[in-house]
Amino acid sequence: MATPHLRNQLHLHGAQITSSCLGRGLVPLLLLLLLAGPALAQRKRSDAIDRSRKGRIKGITVDNLSNYNDRFFRPGIYIAPNFSRFFLEQSAAYFQAAQNGKGIAANSIISPGFAVGFIGDIRLGAPSTPFHLRFAPGLNFLTRRVEFTSAGAGQPDTIRNQEVGTTQLELPLLLKYQSNRRRNTRFYMVGGIKPSIAVTQRQSTPAISQLTVARNDVLLEYGFGLDLFYPYFKFGPELRFSHGLRNILAPRDNQYSNSLQSLRTNTVTLYLNIE
């Protein structure tokens, strides 16, 4: 039986020892990199200095209004273009007349409007709380239109547009939930109730107007927005949706009003908040 040389034995055992040591040494090294990776990445993300590939400083990000969360009350103003329409339901009288070929169909038309007002934002709790209460009274100049189409047996369709313009005093009370601040930006959501009172009501042609609406309304509001922090103020574009909870149709004894069962307000508004 051949006896292996000592150097061959040492060579074989040395390779096994080397591979075993490498395997045992790589495991702690990989674990160390996995644990240190997130910490290094977090440190890099929190660095406010932007550098080029050559290491030159391109800019430094500064936290604007760094003590903004410490304020208990925050006033502001807003301007708000919007689009509004009636959500309408036809009455049983319409369906009955339609069977005889004398029904008057109604179709709501989307119309633009504009609102301005003030903002009062109150923090509900400690500076770190995400909940705020917002009261934003203002005036909303609305114009809503309904297109009536009537047709008799063997006669062409007759189209009449009814326009209802109102100046509404709006008193929304909203709960705001905001995310954690990321440098100079922050997302938020709002929701609440908005009572609305008609200060003035105008009609394009009062002599032939066949449609009137109630002066008071209550709307459900919800939306989302983005807070952008600047050195001297906070700007917040916000998209909000409103749905009327009351039937604001004021019944009148004419065929146009009788063809409707209910009118409710739907509005989409872009709020431009400055605080």
Whether the Cβ atoms of residue 23 and residue 17 lie closer than 8 Å to each other: no
250 inside domain: yes
249 inside domain: yes
Q: How many domains does the chain have?
A: 2
pLDDT tens, residue order, the chain (275 aa): 444 444 444 444 444 444 444 445 544 544 454 444 444 333 333 345 655 666 666 556 688 888 888 889 999 999 999 999 999 888 888 887 777 777 788 889 999 999 999 999 999 989 889 999 999 999 999 988 888 887 655 555 677 788 888 999 999 999 999 999 888 999 999 999 999 999 988 765 555 567 788 889 999 999 999 999 999 999 999 999 999 999 998 887 777 788 888 999 999 999 999 99
Q: Same domain for 90 and 121?
A: yes
- What is each CA distance from 43 to 30, 46, 50, 154, 175, in whole angstroms? 20, 5, 13, 79, 34
Enumerate long-range contacts of 154-157, CB under 8 Å, 24 or more apart. Answer: none
Q: Same domain for 153 and 215?
A: yes
24 inside domain: yes
Residues 6+ apart with CB under 8 A from 112: 81, 82, 83, 84, 143
Whether the Cβ atoms of residue 178 and residue 188 lie closer than 8 Å to each other: yes
Q: Same domain for 31 and 125?
A: no
Domain range for 127: 68-274
Q: Same domain for 21 and 78?
A: no
